[in-house]
C-alpha cells in the first residue's frame, strides 16, 4: 500500500529531480584559443560524479521510505541520518565547485544554479524529516515489563 508523501518527501523529490537535471546541464564554460568549451557535471571533476551519486543516494532513501525498495540501511543508520549525510554532501560539493570555478576564472553555466537549488531542497527535506522515536512510556508501563536482563 502506498504511503502518503510528507512535505520532506516532496522536497527531497524536487531536489532529486533538480539534481538529475543539473547533472546534464552545463556547469561552467571556458574559452580556449580556438573554441568555447562547456562542461557538465560528469566532465567537471570528481565532484560532479560525487554530486550525481549523492543525488542517487537521496533517490534511494526516498524509495526506501515509500516501501518500494528493501531498507538496506537496516539498524545501522536511520533514514534521517542518511538523508542528512547526503544533503550536506550535495551542499558541500556545490560550494566547492563554486569556489573552483571562481578560482579558475570560468563562467558559471545554468547547471550549477540548478545544482545549488537541488542541494538546498535536499537540505530542507532533511531538516523537515521527523526522527523515528519510540513513544514515551510512563514509569508504570516500564515496571510492568519487568526487570531488564
Catalogue all structural domains in the chain, each as residue range(s) with its CATH number: 7-145 (1.20.1440)
Is 119 in contact with 127 (CB distance < 8 Å)?
no
Burial code of 21-58, b = ≥16 C-beta within 10 A, e = fewer?
ebbebbbbeeeeeeeeeebbbeebbebbebbbebbebb
CB-based burial label for 102 (10 Å; 0-12, 13-18, 19+): exposed
Q: What is the pLDDT of residue 132?
A: 64
Q: What is the pLDDT of residue 3?
A: 63
Is 112 in contact with 104 (CB distance < 8 Å)?
no
Q: How many CB atoms lie within 10 A of CB 77?
A: 10
Is 8 in contact with 130 (CB distance < 8 Å)?
yes
Q: What is the pLDDT of residue 26?
A: 87
From first to last of its 149 residues, what are the pLDDT tens digits of the chain?
456 778 888 999 999 999 999 988 888 888 888 888 888 878 877 888 999 999 999 999 999 888 888 887 777 788 888 899 999 999 999 999 989 888 888 888 888 899 999 999 999 999 988 776 666 667 777 677 766 65
Side-by-side strand order, sheet with 36-39: 36-39, 28-31, 107-108
Query: Phi and psi (nearest 5°) for 117?
Result: -65, -40
Amino acid at each position: 500500500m502506498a504511503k502518503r508523501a510528507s512535505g520532506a518527501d516532496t522536497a527531497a523529490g524536487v531536489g532529486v529531480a533538480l539534481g538529475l537535471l543539473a547533472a546534464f546541464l552545463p556547469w561552467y564554460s571556458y574559452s580556449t584559443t580556438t573554441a568555447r568549451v562547456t562542461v557538465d557535471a560528469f566532465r567537471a571533476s570528481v565532484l560532479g560524479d560525487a554530486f550525481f551519486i549523492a543525488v542517487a543516494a537521496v533517490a534511494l532513501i526516498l524509495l526506501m521510505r515509500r516501501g518500494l525498495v528493501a531498507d538496506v540501511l537496516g539498524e545501522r543508520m536511520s533514514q534521517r541520518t542518511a538523508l542528512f549525510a547526503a544533503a550536506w554532501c550535495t551542499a558541500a560539493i556545490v560550494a566547492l565547485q563554486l569556489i573552483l570555478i571562481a578560482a579558475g576564472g570560468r563562467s558559471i553555466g545554468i547547471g550549477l544554479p540548478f545544482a545549488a537549488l537541488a542541494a538546498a531542497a535536499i537540505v530542507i527535506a532533511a531538516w523537515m524529516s521527523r526522527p523515528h522515536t519510540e513513544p514515551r512510556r510512563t514509569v508504570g508501563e516500564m515496571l510492568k515489563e519487568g526487570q531488564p536482563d
